[in-house]
């Protein structure tokens, strides 16, 4: 595995490449062209520029998170052809620049969902949190305004104001889409892009739905072992793979995370490893990465990744806000740096015990 950190680019991130370079063991970043819209072709020159910037800081681009998918593709309307053609062009441009990992999601309307951005924990740190009760009490169009907590002047990934302004139209687009239809549209998309992925050896890594169940009556399919294996089998190409996000699959306590990892051997191209602390099955908050701070056994998660021979990038995820840092909720420097070191410690111990 390679330890990495997500970086949103110098115009959007409070964390600098220099700081990332100083986290022990971190050699790569996971980045994106954050100001592009879903459906746009990523110009090759812009990819070259960000690559040069990252390399000048002594790091490399280990993957892209995300190249977002236009809703026309998810809903399967005729305009999808143009957007798929654009996506292929972006993949080609990334491939030509030697980038071989693309994380994306297929969640309708909302990307990840939280109901609080700064819940206070007993140690005074603040974290992202979710309660189903809060979601059920909301109208989706008020979702953005209703999330409690300050975004610290940042734009939350997946919650860009341009998207939120169109929320009613988006709901309208999905009114006839159920789980099967969404699977069908995903299959159609993957079949079209696999040739370019084969040509440039690009691993597509779908991010699970977070939380791993339907919100606001919208279909959600990347939620559990049955569905993810259905997706792997429906386009049975190793380039059709997975971002294994422990914190997203883990929202559903019925998901056995180490077992899911083992069942996805050869298809996990990227891992987000983080912990959650459950207060009830539908009220959870983000914890520090340590097993002792949350609900998951992080050792077992890392061990399962080790045992399947995982070689891709891992990143810590959704850090707590600590030490008075002001940053995008979940994406500060300090707690993610602690997480990166802890995960590497687990890995070293697992590796040495296997010698």
Is-catalytic flag, 317? yes
Active site residue 272: yes
Where do we find the tokens 């990252």? 54
Report the relative pairing of strands 101-105 and 203-207 from DSSP bridges: parallel
Q: Which is nearer to ligand DNO, 24 or 90 (CB)?
A: 90
Residue of 249, 331, 334, 342 with catalytic role: 331
Q: Kindly state the smallest distance separating residue 197's Cβ from ligand DNO, in Å.
A: 16
Strand 126-131 with 116-120, pairing: antiparallel
The reply on whether position 347 binds ligand DNO by CB under 6 A is no
DSSP letter, residue 315? E
DSSP structure string for 165-200:
HTHHHHHHHTTT--HHHHHHHHHHHHHHHHHHHHHH
Number of chain positions touching ligand DNO (CB under 6 A): 11
Residue 163 or 207 with smaller CB distance to ligand DNO: 207
Distances in Å between the alpha carbon of 113 and those of 32, 69, 132, 143, 210?
A: 20, 17, 10, 9, 6
From the CB of 352, what's the least distance to ligand DNO, in Å?
A: 30
Look-up: residue for tokens 């939120």? Answer: 164
Q: Which is nearer to ligand DNO, 31 or 131 (CB)?
A: 31
Q: Is 269 a catalytic residue?
A: no
Q: Catalytic annotation on 318?
A: yes
User: Active-site residue among 13, 71, 111, 317?
Assistant: 317
Q: Helices 225-234 and 179-200 sit at what angle, rounded to 10 degrees?
A: 50
Task: Check binding of 65 to ligand DNO (CB under 6 A).
Answer: yes
3-state secondary structure of 246: helix
| Least distance in angstroms from the C-beta of 239 to ligand DNO | 17
Q: Please give the structure tokens belonging to residue 328.
A: 């995008």
- Contacts with ligand DNO in 286-345 (CB under 6 A)? 330
Kindly name the residue from 8, 87, 318, 342 that is annotated as catalytic: 318
Of 105-113, 134-142, 258-266, 335-343: span binding ligand DNO (CB under 6 A) = 105-113
Q: What is the DSSP letter of 239?
A: T
Half-sphere exposure of 62 (CA within 13 A, CB side): 22
| Minimum CB–partner distance for residue 336 and ligand DNO (Å) | 11
Least distance to ligand DNO, CB of residue 351, Å: 26
Give the one residue of 8, 112, 174, 296 binding ligand DNO; rule: CB under 6 A.
112
Q: Which of 42, 104, 310, 347 binds ligand DNO (CB under 6 A)?
A: 104
Would you tell me the crossing angle of helices 44-56 and 80-96 to the nearest 10 degrees?
40
Q: 67: left (phi > 0), else alpha (psi -120 to 50), else beta?
A: beta
Range in contact with ligand DNO (rule: CB under 6 A) among 16-24, 70-78, 102-110, 333-341: 102-110
| Helix locations, the chain, DSSP H | 17-21, 44-56, 71-75, 80-96, 132-136, 143-146, 161-165, 167-173, 179-200, 225-234, 246-249, 257-263, 298-307, 334-353
Binding region for ligand DNO (CB under 6 A) out of 77-85, 101-109, 214-222, 291-299:
101-109
Question: Least distance in Å: CB of 87 to ligand DNO?
Answer: 13
Nearer to ligand DNO, 247 or 258 (CB): 247
**99-107, 183-191, 213-221, 283-291 -> range binding ligand DNO (CB under 6 A):** 99-107
196 contact partners, CB below 8 Å, separation of at least 6 = 88, 91, 92, 95, 202
Q: Give the footprint of ligand DNO on residues 143-182 (CB under 6 A).
A: 157-158
Q: Which residues contact 99 (CB under 8 A, 6 or more apart)?
A: 47, 51, 61, 63, 64, 202
Which residue lies nearer to ligand DNO by CB, 67 or 322? 67
Residue 245 a catalytic site member? yes
Which amino acids are annotated catalytic?
Answer: 207, 245, 272, 317-318, 331
Site of interaction with ligand DNO (CB under 6 A): 65-66, 103-105, 111-112, 157-158, 207, 330
């Amino acid at each position: 595995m390679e330890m990495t950190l997500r970086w949103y680019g110098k115009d959007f991130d409070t964390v600098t490449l220099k700081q990332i370079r100083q986290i022990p063991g971190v050699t790569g970043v996971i980045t994106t062209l954050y100001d592009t819209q879903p459906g746009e072709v990523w110009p090759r020159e812009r990819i070259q520029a960000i690559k040069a910037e990252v390399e000048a800081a002594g790091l490399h681009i280990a993957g892209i998170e995300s190249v977002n998918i236009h809703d026309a593709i998810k809903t399967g309307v005729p305009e999808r052809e143009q957007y798929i053609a654009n996506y292929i062009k972006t993949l080609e441009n990334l491939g030509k620049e030697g980038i071989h990992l693309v994380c994306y999601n297929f969640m309708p309307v909302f990307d990840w969902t939280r109901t609080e951005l700064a819940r206070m924990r007993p140690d005074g740190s603040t974290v992202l949190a979710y309660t189903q009760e809060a979601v059920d009490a909301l109208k989706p169009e008020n979702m953005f305004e209703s999330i409690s907590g300050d975004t610290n002047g940042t734009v939350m990934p997946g919650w860009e104001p341009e998207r939120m302004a169109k929320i009613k139209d988006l709901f309208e687009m999905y009114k006839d889409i159920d789980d099967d239809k969404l699977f069908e549209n995903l299959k159609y998309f993957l079949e079209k892009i696999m040739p370019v992925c084969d040509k440039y050896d690009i691993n597509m890594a779908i991010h699970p739905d977070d939380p791993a169940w339907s919100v606001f009556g919208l279909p959600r399919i990347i939620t559990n072992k049955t569905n993810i294996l259905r997706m792997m089998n429906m386009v049975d190409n190793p380039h059709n793979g997975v971002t294994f996000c422990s914190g997203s699959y883990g929202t559903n306590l019925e998901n056995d995370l180490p077992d899911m990892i083992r069942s996805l051997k050869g298809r996990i191209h990227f891992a987000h490893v983080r912990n959650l602390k459950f207060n009830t099955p539908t009220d959870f908050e983000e914890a520090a990465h340590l097993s002792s701070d949350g609900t998951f056994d992080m050792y077992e998660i890392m061990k399962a990744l080790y045992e399947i021979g995982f070689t891709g990038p891992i990143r810590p995820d959704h850090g707590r806000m600590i030490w008075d840092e002001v940053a995008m909720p979940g994406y500060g420097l300090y707690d993610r740096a602690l997480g990166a070191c802890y995960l590497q410690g687990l890995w070293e111990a697992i590796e040495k015990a296997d010698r």
